[in-house]
Amino acid sequence: MSYYISNKICPQSHRCPLIAKCPVNAISQNGFDVPIIDEEQCIGCGACQQICPLGAVQER
């Protein structure tokens, strides 16, 4: 299973708290842009989806 962060839900005005919570460092963010989940690094554990307070992490 792979995930992405919806730019319609994520406010893009903060440092994403999910970056520090990903066990394989698959989430990155350039400044305050929408965070990106690297599909090749992501192991599909769903931790990011569970912790996102806005529900911006979606399944592909």
The type of residue at 54 is: L
38 vs 15: CA distance, rounded Å = 17
Where exactly are the structural domains of the chain? 1-60
Is the pLDDT at 1 greater than 90? The verdict is no
What is the pTM for the complete model shown?
Answer: 0.89
The tens digit of pLDDT for each residue in 3-38 reads 999 999 998 888 999 999 999 999 999 999 999 999
CATH number of this structure's domain 1-60, picked from the four choices 2.120.10.30, 3.30.70.20, 3.20.20.140, 1.10.1740.10: 3.30.70.20
Q: Three-state secondary structure along the chain?
A: CCEEECCCCCCCCCCCCHHHHCCCCCEECCCCCCCEECCCCCCCCCHHHHHCCCCCEEEC
